């Protein structure tokens, strides 16, 4: 007789069916939560709807561009619009965001032109915006690494006496990374003003959240000594209200805060992925009933806050945006060969200079006009 | 001024850096009250406060990762990794994030971060406390790597490293921490030998020895012995392992016609491999012998009772010199 060495853990000790902060139901009914009151005007609601609709349309266009060979890959945000627009709109201009590679909705809220996001995925550069101009870091591909940068940045805000805070974006898969856990420890230890915004979209490519954690992820915060809360990540109002409050908590010197936005990645991980291999179609169908945009539309319509003309105008604007993005993508100039050598070092390097000069010479261009800016330094 | 130990010279250099720029921070494990396990940061937290000299949680990736965030906010962190073998939990942050940040941000986000690492063996330590991982960093584009070999350089180079807007991995020869030398504290930093230049520390005409960190002293000792036998060895302290000061090195080898590279790290794909290849390319017609390498063997760093057989010493250097001269 052998001992039971099953690698399947027993059921969690804590019921994962835990409290979820929700302010707008999937049916579009407004409900109140005692800890997260939210006053929001019809104008703001329509504005949120516009954001949600436009980023979805942009995302759809980007997926199409990838399918047509114009982007190397695309990481779709489909289904996560509310989590991103809600949290993104909760930030003040001086707050800093550290994104993963899927935060297109947050980028939109930070004022970054969507076409700039395509530059990374087209292979033109590694991020076409200056993080300081938008208070939005570059996309980070290595999972979880940016949570430490966010924490360090927040430690800098403390030293500056700044009245702003940081939002660190990551996902359920990243929650298993050492860096995320170290970020929790540093943030807690130094009481850093950082909100950890975890979009639990339930799938780390093909691996379900159950493989990452035996307890609901928001409960991890308790073990690190700071508050954590789970919210309906498809409810833009909950995402807005809770992130706003968490940022206020951080700004007031009360330290880090973990928000687990429970949502669903309705598309593939990226355009290179095939989710039919690892999850059931019924799961997606079920989540379509909790669509983040439809519930806002239902609320607006039910309360007479938007009419057909409004939705038509948004749709027209979305299509204009898509066309603009497409044109920008197709007309994006390729970098020049010698651009490879730009910005390796702030203070330069004789080795890089020498290799640049070699390539300029190899490509047979005397003045470097076509291959880029050559500044040869030979020994 | 009386001769000063390397550890003390580093301490003085760090103090100067903290005084010169309020954005300079020190962070690491035990760097505060204890002053670091080698006392290199002794007294700095007391004088500059806990916000500038930070005892961090015991997490190397966390140290480098948060330093990156602090640098994005305009700070200039100096991170201490306690021992060479403890840097690897931070390797991802160093290689994938720190080294690439300036490049991927198209120059918008410089990373003025210094990572101090006591390196090398010879102190009878347990495993993971005696390694020489410098080639693993010098191979990474976007990093700069230097090693000091004496107290005067330690004092100057650490200050120069802190003023660099590029990330610098700063290797300190831990077995030489207590070696004393005169330190010039009066020459302005701007007039000192630039950080990324090598220095000929002994002139000679028969063989060039290329070394850095702890092996510079070994080579100087070897040169003294060789002189008694009539062989004049030129010793070049490479100092900067990335970028490498090729003009100084090439000039020396063209002059002597022979070259031996000495480092503690395993010779296979070590710095010596790059040095040998490049010296051969640039000095081929002046050379009387192939570049020879003396270094650690293709084994993990051994238990300390065996380290004397692993580490290059005076006799192994002279053996290589003899072989070079025999061509």
Interface check for A143 against chain B (CB to CB < 8 A): the answer is no
Report the percent of chain B where pLDDT is more than 90. Answer: 99
Nearest to B105 among A127, A145, A153 (CB): A127
Probe site for chain A from B24, B29, B62 (most A CB atoms < 10 A)? B62
Contacts 24+ apart (CB under 8 A), A117-121: A117/A62, A118/A62, A118/A65, A118/A71, A118/A325, A118/A328, A118/A329, A118/A332, A119/A332, A121/A62, A121/A66, A121/A71, A121/A72, A121/A73, A121/A74, A121/A75
Does residue B312 sit at the A interface (CB-CB below 8 Å)?
no
Q: How far is B313 from chain A (nearest CA, A)?
A: 31
The pTM (predicted TM-score) of the whole model is 0.95
Reported confidence tier of residue A116, pLDDT bands at 50, 70, 90: very high
Nearest residue to A198 (alpha-carbon basis) of A178, A218, A181: A218
Asked if A346 and B243 come within 8 Å (Cβ–Cβ), the reply is: no
| pLDDT tens per residue, range A138-193 | 999 999 999 999 999 999 999 999 999 999 999 999 999 999 999 999 999 999 99
User: Under a CB-based contact definition with an 8 Å cutoff, are residues A77 and A48 in contact?
Assistant: no
Is the CB of A153 less than 8 angstroms away from the CB of B69?
yes
Compute the distance between CA of residue A311 and CA of residue A87 in angstroms, rounded to an integer.
Answer: 23
Contact A149 B96 (CB under 8 A): no
State the pairing for strand pair A207-208/A203-204.
Answer: antiparallel
| CB-based contact, A153 to chain B, within 8 Å | yes
> What are the start and end residues of each CATH 3.40.50.970 domain in chain A?
42-330
* CATH architecture of the domain with residue range A42-330: 3-Layer(aba) Sandwich (3.40)
pLDDT tens for residues A200-242? Answer: 999 999 999 999 999 999 999 999 999 999 999 999 999 999 9
- Cα of B247 to nearest chain A Cα, Å: 7
Domains of chain B listed by start with CATH number: 4-191 (3.40.50.970), 199-325 (3.40.50.920)
Mutate to test the interface with A, among B69, B110, B161 (most CBs of A within 10 A): B69
What confidence score (pLDDT) does residue A370 get? 55
- Name the nearest CA neighbour of A199 among A176, A222, A173, A180: A173
Span B103-145, pLDDT tens digits: 999 999 999 999 999 999 999 999 999 999 999 999 999 999 9
Chain A contact for B59, CB < 8 A?
yes
What's chain B's average pLDDT? 98
Provide the ipTM. 0.96
Peptide bond into B243 cis (omega under 30): yes
What pLDDT digit, counting tens, does each position of A264-313 carry?
999 999 999 999 999 999 999 999 999 999 999 999 999 999 999 999 99
Q: Which among A155, A185, A350 has the least Cβ separation from residue B243?
A: A350
CB contact under 8 A, B69 and A148: yes
Tokens at B318, concatenated = 């002279």
Of the candidates B102, B128, B129, B231, the residue annotated as catalytic is: B129
**Cβ <8 Å between B102 and A182:** no
Task: Give the residue numbers of A annotated as catalytic, written as ranges.
Answer: 265, 269, 278
How many C-beta atoms lie closer than 10 Å to residue A197's C-beta? Answer: 35
Query: Residues 284..343 of A with a Cβ closer than 8 Å to B: which?
Result: 342-343
**Across B277-300, average pLDDT:** 98
CA distance B19 to B231: 46
Minimal Cα distance from A184: which residue of B?
B62
pLDDT tens digits, one per residue of A18-58: 789 999 999 999 999 999 999 999 999 999 999 999 999 99
């Amino acid at each position: 007789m052998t001992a039971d060495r099953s690698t399947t853990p027993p059921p969690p000790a804590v019921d994962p069916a835990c409290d979820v902060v929700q302010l707008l139901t999937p049916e579009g009914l407004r409900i109140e939560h005692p800890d997260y009151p939210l006053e929001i005007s019809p104008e703001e609601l329509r504005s949120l709807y516009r954001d949600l609709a436009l980023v979805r349309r942009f995302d759809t266009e980007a997926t199409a561009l990838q399918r047509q060979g114009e982007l190397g890959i695309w990481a779709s945000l489909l289904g996560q619009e509310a989590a991103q627009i809600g949290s993104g709109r909760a930030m003040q201009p001086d707050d800093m965001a550290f994104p993963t590679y899927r935060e297109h909705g947050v980028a939109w809220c930070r004022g970054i032109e969507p076409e700039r996001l395509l530059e990374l995925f087209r292979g033109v550069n590694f991020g076409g915006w200056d993080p300081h101009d938008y208070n939005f870091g570059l996309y980070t591909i290595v999972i979880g690494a940016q949570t430490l940068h966010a924490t360090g940045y927040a430690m800098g805000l403390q030293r500056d006496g700044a009245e702003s805070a940081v939002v660190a974006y990551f996902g359920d898969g990243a929650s298993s990374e050492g860096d995320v856990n170290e970020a929790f420890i540093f943030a807690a230890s130094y009481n850093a003003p950082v909100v950890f915004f975890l979009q639990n979209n339930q799938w780390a490519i093909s691996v379900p959240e159950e493989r990452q954690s035996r307890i609901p992820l928001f409960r991890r915060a308790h073990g690190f000594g700071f508050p954590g809360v789970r919210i309906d990540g498809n409810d833009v109002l909950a995402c807005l209200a809770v992130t706003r409050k968490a940022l206020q908590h951080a700004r007031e010197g009360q330290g880090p805060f973990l928000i687990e936005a429970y949502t669903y990645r309705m598309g593939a991980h990226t355009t290179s992925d095939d989710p039919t291999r690892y999850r059931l179609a019924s799961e997606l169908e079920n989540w379509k009933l909790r669509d983040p945009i439809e519930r806002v539309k239902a609320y607006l319509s039910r309360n007479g806050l938007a009419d057909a003309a409004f939705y038509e105008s948004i749709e027209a604007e979305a299509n204009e945006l898509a066309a603009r993005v497409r044109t920008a993508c197709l007309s994006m100039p390729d970098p020049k060969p010698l651009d490879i050598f730009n910005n390796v070092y702030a203070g330069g390097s004789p080795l890089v200079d020498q290799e640049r000069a070699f390539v300029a010479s190899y490509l047979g261009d005397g003045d470097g006009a076509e291959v880029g800016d050559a500044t040869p330094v030979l020994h | 001024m009386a001769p000063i130990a390397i550890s003390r010279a580093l301490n003085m250099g760090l103090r100067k850096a903290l005084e010169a720029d309020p954005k300079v921070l020190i962070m690491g494990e035990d760097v505060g009250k204890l002053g670091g396990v080698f006392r290199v940061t002794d007294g700095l937290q007391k004088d500059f406060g806990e916000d500038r000299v930070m005892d961090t949680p015991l997490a190397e990736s966390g140290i480098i990762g948060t330093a990156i965030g602090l640098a994005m906010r305009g700070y200039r962190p100096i991170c201490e990794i306690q021992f060479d073998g403890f840097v690897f939990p931070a390797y991802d942050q160093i290689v994938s994030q720190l080294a690439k940040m300036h490049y991927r941000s198209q120059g918008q986000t410089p990373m003025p971060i210094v990572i101090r690492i006591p390196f090398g063996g010879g102190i009878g330590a347990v495993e993971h406390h005696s390694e020489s991982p410098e080639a693993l960093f010098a191979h990474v584009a976007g990093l700069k790597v230097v090693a000091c070999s004496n107290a005067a350089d330690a004092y100057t180079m650490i200050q120069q490293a802190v003023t660099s807007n590029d990330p610098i991995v700063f290797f300190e020869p831990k077995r030489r921490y207590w070696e004393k030398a005169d330190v010039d504290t009066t020459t302005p930093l701007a007039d000192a030998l630039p950080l990324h230049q090598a220095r000929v520390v002994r002139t000679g005409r028969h063989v060039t020895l290329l070394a850095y960190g702890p092996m510079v002293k070994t080579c100087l000792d070897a040169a003294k012995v060789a002189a008694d036998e009539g062989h004049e060895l030129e010793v070049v302290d490479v100092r900067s392992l990335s970028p490498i000061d090729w003009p100084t090195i090439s000039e020396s080898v063209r002059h002597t016609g022979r070259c031996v590279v000495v480092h503690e790290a395993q010779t296979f794909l070590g710095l010596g491999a790059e040095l040998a290849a490049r010296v051969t390319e640039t000095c081929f017609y002046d050379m009387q012998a192939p570049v020879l390498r003396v270094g650690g063997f293709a084994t993990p760093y051994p238990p300390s009772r065996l380290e004397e057989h692993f580490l290059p010493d005076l006799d192994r250097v002279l053996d290589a010199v003899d072989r070079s001269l025999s061509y």
